[in-house]
């Protein structure tokens, strides 16, 4: 039976630490072709710049072949069910299928129809496990120690799969999270919440800004994104001397984060992207080798 990565809970803390050691080695040395002859298929039913390319580069760096299914030109447009699409692709012998879908739960369901590993590349507002892993890895590389760090997650938290995955993972590693958002962007939670960005920013070691997920809103929540930005855009002045700024991308410039803050050295957005390739290499290797045993 293949092992899947649907949510961050699929990996134990011990496995994640091992994964981070492996990712670190991928940042330092040219990797061996440990996945030579293996196949990875990307099926992205939602747009992506980072996640899809990152998985493709990660797999190719390890010697695997990559097929990117063109969903718009696929037989799903002729009425084939998602399950049949997955089962048919699986019959071509991939080791891993990476799935992104607008509906929560799709990767989990597809895992019942295939023999290969399914990796969740983001499903609805549910989960984006490799994003959270690369976020934690980025924080850990910067601060060396993560226990006790204070993280302000800012933005449309209720509709964000990145927030959901990070809340599970960062609290598991002993970080203290404050959610910063207007009331309609806050989920039901036991975590500390505020709508004062300025107050939260003063105490934060890490500010994680999130995009306003307008595609998941039933009705407009703000008169316009500019109104939202006047309360929640991260500016350079809000960053403490030792604070780092993260964002999973895509960034709405001057809505989520302003130009000056994005250009500041405390902003680690591109380091997140760089680290993401190494993390995905480690994830793919772990799932494919030894049947997913770490
Ligand atoms: N962070 C992230 O998921 O970006 P993409 O939507 O570009 O993949």
Atom in ligand 1 nearest the alpha carbon of residue 47: 6
Phi, psi of 58 (to 5 degrees): -60, -50
* DSSP calls for 68-119: EE-GGGSGGGGT--HHHHHHHHHTT--SEEEEEESSTTHHHHHTTS-SSEEE
Tell me how crowded residue 147 is: count the other CB atoms within 10 A of its CB.
9
Residue in the block written with tokens 């929540």: 221
Distance 91 CA to ligand 1 centre (A): 28
Q: pLDDT digits over 8-31, tens only?
A: 999 999 999 999 999 999 999 999
Helices within the chain (DSSP H only): 13-28, 50-61, 82-90, 106-110, 129-143, 161-172, 197-203, 225-232, 259-263, 269-288
- The whole-model pTM stands at 0.96
Do 270 and 230 contact (CB within 8 A), yes or no? no
Is ligand 1 within 6 A of the CB of residue 122?
Answer: yes
Report the nearest-CA residue for atom 1 of ligand 1.
Answer: 248
Ligand 1 atom closest to the Cα of residue 46 is: 6
Q: What is the mean pLDDT of residues 89-109?
A: 98
Instruction: Tell whether ligand 1 has an atom less than 6 A from the beta carbon of residue 129.
Output: no
Average pLDDT over residues 183-191: 95
What confidence category does residue 253 fall into, taking pLDDT thresholds of 50, 70 and 90?
very high
Q: Establish whether residue 121 lines the binding site of ligand 1, counting it when its CB lies within 6 angstroms of any ligand atom.
A: no
* φ and ψ at residue 249, rounded to 5 degrees: 80, 155
Atom of ligand 1 minimally distant from the CA of 128:
3
Q: How far from the centroid of its chain's Cα atoms is residue 221's Cα? A: 24
Cα 39 vs. chain centroid, distance in angstroms? 22
In this structure, what token pair is assigned to residue 274? 């760089």
Which class for 187: exposed (0-12), middle (13-18), buried (19 or more C-beta within 10 A)?
A: middle
Classify residue 186 by burial, with Cβ atoms within 10 Å: 0-12, 13-18, 19+: middle
115-140: pLDDT as tens digits: 999 999 999 999 999 999 999 999 99
């Amino acid at each position: 039976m293949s092992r899947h990565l649907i949510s961050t809970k699929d990996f134990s803390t011990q496995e994640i630490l091992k994964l981070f050691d492996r990712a670190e080695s991928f940042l330092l040395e040219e990797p061996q072709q440990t996945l030579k002859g293996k196949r990875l298929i990307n099926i992205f039913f939602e747009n992506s710049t980072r996640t899809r390319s990152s998985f493709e580069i990660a797999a190719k760096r390890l010697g695997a072949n990559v097929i990117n299914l063109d969903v718009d030109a696929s037989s799903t447009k002729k009425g084939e069910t998602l399950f049949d699409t997955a089962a048919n692709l699986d019959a071509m012998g991939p080791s891993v299928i990476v799935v992104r879908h607008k509906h929560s739960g799709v990767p989990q369901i597809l895992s019942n129809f295939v023999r290969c590993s399914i990796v969740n590349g983001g499903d609805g507002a549910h989960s984006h496990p490799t994003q959270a892993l690369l976020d934690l890895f980025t924080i850990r590389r910067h601060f060396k120690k993560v226990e006790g760090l204070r993280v302000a997650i800012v933005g449309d938290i209720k509709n964000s799969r990145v927030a959901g995955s990070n809340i599970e993972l960062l609290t598991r590693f002993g970080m203290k999270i404050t959610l910063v958002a207007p009331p309609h962007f806050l989920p039901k939670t036991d975590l500390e919440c505020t709508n004062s960005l300025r107050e939260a920013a003063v105490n934060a070691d890490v500010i994680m800004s999130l995009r306003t997920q307008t595609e998941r809103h039933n009705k407009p929540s703000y008169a316009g994104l500019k109104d939202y930005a006047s309360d929640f855009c991260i500016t350079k002045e809000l960053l403490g001397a030792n604070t780092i700024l993260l964002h999973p991308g895509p960034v709405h410039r001057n809505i989520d984060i302003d130009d000056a803050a994005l250009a500041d050295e405390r902003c680690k957005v591109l380091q997140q992207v760089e680290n993401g390739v190494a993390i995905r290499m480690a994830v793919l290797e772990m799932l494919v080798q030894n049947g997913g045993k770490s």
